[in-house]
Structure 1
Amino acid sequence: MATDLTTPTPAHPDAAPIQRRTLRLLFTTQIVGGIGVTIGISVGALLAAEIAGTAVAGLAQSAAVVGGALLAVPVTRIITGHGRRPGLTFAYGIGALGAVLIVLAAVARSVPLLFTGMLLFGGGSTANLQARYAAVDLAEPERRARQLSLIVWATTVGAVAAPNFAALADRTTHGWGLPALSGPFAFSAVAFVLAAGVLQLFLRPDPLLTARLLAPARATEAPEGGTAARAGQVVASDGSPVAAEPVAVPAPPARRGAGMRAAWSVVRALPAARLGIATVAVGHLVMVAVMAMTPVHLREFHPVEEVLPVVGLVLSLHIAGMYALAPVIGWLTDRLGRRPVILGGVGTLLAACAVAGTAGHHTPRLTVGLVLLGLGWSATMVAGSTLLSESVPDAVRPSAQGLSDLVMGCAGALAGAVSGFVVQLSGYPVLTLLAAIAVTPLLALALRPVSAAGEED
């Protein structure tokens, strides 16, 4: 019987087989969780527009993003104190509850219930995002980006197909008496419960708790050929360790893990960590802003009876851009460094805004823009998450990762909240222009030179 590492054991287990088993399990649950998140989100704006109007459609989408961001706080607290398994299970459970409330909101045509459900539905996204960090707890330094990107890529299998199943799910549940556009959320609830159950039963031993047991031994081992820093070592913005004196960072409390306040103190002192958080947040902001309003934009020039299949196809290709090439991006991140891939992601996001914003009613061109949007998000997510994870000490790493997801979620929520009003007042092209402008500060930050001591010049 597998041993649960909630209570430390005297002997240190071998990390390699645990890491392989963890990756296989996370890969499986990411597929299921990806279906749950995407099949609901693909019709979320349409359901919100049906119940509350176009102007607040973006607000409903942003509610899910806000929920995911806010849930990162309790989920991070659980992970820090008790490990990855209970934290991920809790997040999926909250997401399932939110999906059920959304179905009830559609039945009652209740706007408050809809927003409450969307807030809790964000738990599914929280779990999917936090799972990528579980993949690097026991990863070798030279393979961190590739193993993180493998879990990001796993979402492709479910997420790309899910929007195309939205119409089938809607027809199926319509026969059960559920209102139009609510069926996909019923399927989301089932997917989240399944993912939570699998993790609760089989994610043993816990990868984070195992990494803590192995930390003293691993800290004395130099990475062979890797470019990532060990715990507490300062890295430059491209992810390479610096040879000079490390930047002084506040010592975290000597306990299971430090909270977000301590993590923020450490992140502020490390330029590489700041760049990692900013990269993830800005990439997510731009992606959410443009993607959330694309179904509403498509509805303007497609008949109501045809819009769901078109939305499904466009979003499927967009999600393929987000996840399908993640392993390639992870390999490039390990091979070329973190900063070059971040800069490539920024350039791709700018190209995506230009193509989508000038597509007009030409659906194929709009689709190309959404695919580029997904690729840019993937590059910023993989490179930024890897850079952050290896730039902070072990004791604050889970909290810094949770802080990153909180900032990312708030940035995406702001984008989703504003996007509906921008489209209603000025149109979709103006939205893409504003999204492109939002990328420019990240470009400046990524190009800022970093000295040998890790300080910005």
Structure 2
Amino acid sequence: MKTRPWGVQMRIYTQTERRAIHKRTLAIVVIAQLFGGAGLASGITVGALLTQDMTGSDGLAGLSTTLFTLGSAISAFAVGRLTQRLGRRAGLTAGFLTGAAGALGVVAAAAWDNLPLLLLAMLVYGAGTSTNLQARYAGTDLAEPHQRARAVSIAMVTTTFGAVAGPNLVSPMGRLAADWGIPPLAGPFMLASAAFALAGLVFAILLRPDPFLVARASADDAPAASAVGGAGADTPERSGSRGIVVGASVMLITQIVMTAVMTMTPLHMKHHGHSLDMVGLTIGAHIAAMFLPSLVTGVLVDKVGRIAMSCVAAGTLLCAGLVTAFAPGDSSAWMIFGLVLLGLGWNFGLISGTAVIVDATNLRTRAKTQGSVDVLISLAGAAGGALSGAVVAFSSFGALSLAGGALALLLLPVMLWYRRGGSRPSTGSFEA
């Protein structure tokens, strides 16, 4: 039994035991993400509508998204620090329970018609969404280097099921809220509060032993080895600021491109006479493409390599930009195809970038770095959404799509710089 610098005791586990804990951790992440995804999607679906209803202003409706994104960024930073100090269990539990409290605050604000409380609650609600994203790291703590991308993909693909279920429960939850004398638009936040709370409780009760603490104890016991006992994960060739910069760049660029084009797609389709049902179908196909291919993507990132799949992400996002830019405005099929490519490119980029970040950090700083990178991802998404409106207002949706595709090509020189920086493959011939 060893005592960590912060007083956390953790015994050293054998490699066989660590593998068993890794498998158990993946199962726990799957269960928690089913709830977390529902909490994420159910609240986002009606957040702007609820704000619009309470303020009576279309212009102020975006306040909820702004505050929600800001809260997500702040909480990502805090959860990363807490995880580094006390482990995944403490960080993820605190983040999800904070998000649950925020969602409950939204319900209270709607019931009392209290706008300041609503805005504060939306800020706190953002903690649940950022924690839902950070949960993808839990499966990587004890994964072998050649399994890290697959571990990330398991968390992401599971989120899909909750994210699909959440919006489909908007109407039933609205009716339930109305029966209780609460505005119907607050109903989905009742579901979000319960879902986030359940996700937090799953981690609090089941995530024992803590995979991050187990990995860190093993690394402290054998500093020259990787967190899971294999060679090469944290060697100088695979660690350092270059990998962190590259991994963050991949995720930031793909996030900006995806958010910018996705944000303006409903408005573009509405201007061309598409029904709300068709808009919903298009966005639904886009979200499915963001998450459902994750298991295949994870295998490809581990087998083919981080660099190669980041380049594929750039090419896919470029194709998405070209399709959406030149698609006939009245063609729903072409818009769906373009948005599916957009989601797929984001999926390639997020999993590749996440794997690069894990490869490039050691366990003494990894959780803090992951939290800081997720802060930037949240802010990048907000920037992409805000700038997209300005671009369309001054030019057109087609120009926005082409600009997004061009921006994605920046990944190519980033990958070239990374490859020339001394990183050496450990599995695939193009692996970072």
TM-score by length of 2: 0.85
1:62 to 1:376, Cα distance in 2 relative to 1, 3 A: farther
1:168 to 1:430, Cα distance in 2 relative to 1, 3 A: farther
1:104 to 1:366, Cα distance in 2 relative to 1, 3 A: farther
- By how many angstroms is 1:106 displaced? 4.2
* Equivalent position to 1:341, from 309, 318, 321: 309
CA contact (8 A) 1:160 1:317 kept: no
CA contact (8 A) 2:42 2:188 kept: yes
2:335 corresponds to which residue? 366
Q: How does 1:26-425 map to 2 (within 5 A)?
A: 26-50=29-53, 51=55, 53-107=57-111, 112-216=116-220, 229-235=232-238, 266-267=240-241, 270=242, 272-298=243-269, 300=271, 307=276, 309-359=277-327, 360-423=329-392
Which digits, 9 at most, give the CA deviation of each residue in 1:99-128, with x for residues without a partner?
223334445665544433332222122111
CA contact (8 A) 1:45 1:295 kept: no
- By how many angstroms is 1:234 displaced? 1.9
Q: Measure the CA separation in 2 of the matches of 1:404 and 1:125.
A: 15
1:361 to 1:184, Cα distance in 2 relative to 1, 3 A: farther
- By how many angstroms is 1:411 displaced? 0.9
CA contact (8 A) 2:10 2:213 kept: no
Q: Measure the CA separation in 2 of the matches of 1:439 and 1:136.
A: 26
1:301 to 1:187, Cα distance in 2 relative to 1, 3 A: farther
CA contact (8 A) 1:137 1:207 kept: yes
Which digits, 9 at most, give the CA deviation of each residue in 1:123-151, with x for residues without a partner?
12211111111111101111111112111
Is the aligned partner of 1:18 residue 2:13? no
CA contact (8 A) 1:354 1:432 kept: yes
Q: Note the residue ranges of structure 2 that are not aligned, 5 or more in a row.
A: 1-5, 425-432
1:371 to 1:113, Cα distance in 2 relative to 1, 3 A: farther
Q: Measure the CA separation in 2 of the matches of 1:54 and 1:127.
A: 29
Q: Measure the CA separation in 2 of the matches of 1:174 and 1:164.
A: 17
1:444 corresponds to which residue? 413
1:258 corresponds to which residue? none
1:249 corresponds to which residue? none
1:229 to 1:66, Cα distance in 2 relative to 1, 3 A: farther
Which digits, 9 at most, give the CA deviation of each residue in 1:26-73, with x for residues without a partner?
111011101110122233344445546444544532332221111112
- By how many angstroms is 1:282 displaced? 1.5
- By how many angstroms is 1:452 displaced? 6.1
Aligned length: 415
1:446 to 1:49, Cα distance in 2 relative to 1, 3 A: farther
Q: Measure the CA separation in 2 of the matches of 1:339 and 1:18.
A: 29
CA contact (8 A) 1:163 1:315 kept: no
After superposing the two structures, state which structure 1 stretch, 146-155 or 43-52, moved more: 43-52
2:3 corresponds to which residue? none
1:365 to 1:166, Cα distance in 2 relative to 1, 3 A: farther
After superposing the two structures, state which structure 1 stretch, 445-454 or 13-22, moved more: 445-454
Q: Secondary structure in 2 aligned to 1:395? A: coil
Q: Secondary structure in 2 aligned to 1:135? A: helix
Q: Measure the CA separation in 2 of the matches of 1:185 and 1:453.
A: 48
Q: Secondary structure in 2 aligned to 1:181? A: helix
Which digits, 9 at most, give the CA deviation of each residue in 1:291-349, with x for residues without a partner?
3344455555679xx73x54543333222101111111111111111011011111212
Q: Measure the CA separation in 1 of the matches of 2:24 and 2:414.
A: 38
Q: Measure the CA separation in 1 of the matches of 2:227 and 2:202.
A: 33
Q: Measure the CA separation in 2 of the matches of 1:55 and 1:73.
A: 29
TM-score by length of 1: 0.81
Which digits, 9 at most, give the CA deviation of each residue in 1:407-444, with x for residues without a partner?
11111121233344555665544443443343343333
1:251 corresponds to which residue? none
CA contact (8 A) 1:229 1:391 kept: no
Letter in 1 for 2:263: A
- By how many angstroms is 1:277 displaced? 0.7
CA contact (8 A) 2:46 2:185 kept: yes
1:161 to 1:424, Cα distance in 2 relative to 1, 3 A: farther
Identity rate, percent: 36
CA contact (8 A) 1:54 1:420 kept: no
Q: Measure the CA separation in 2 of the matches of 1:301 and 1:174.
A: 35
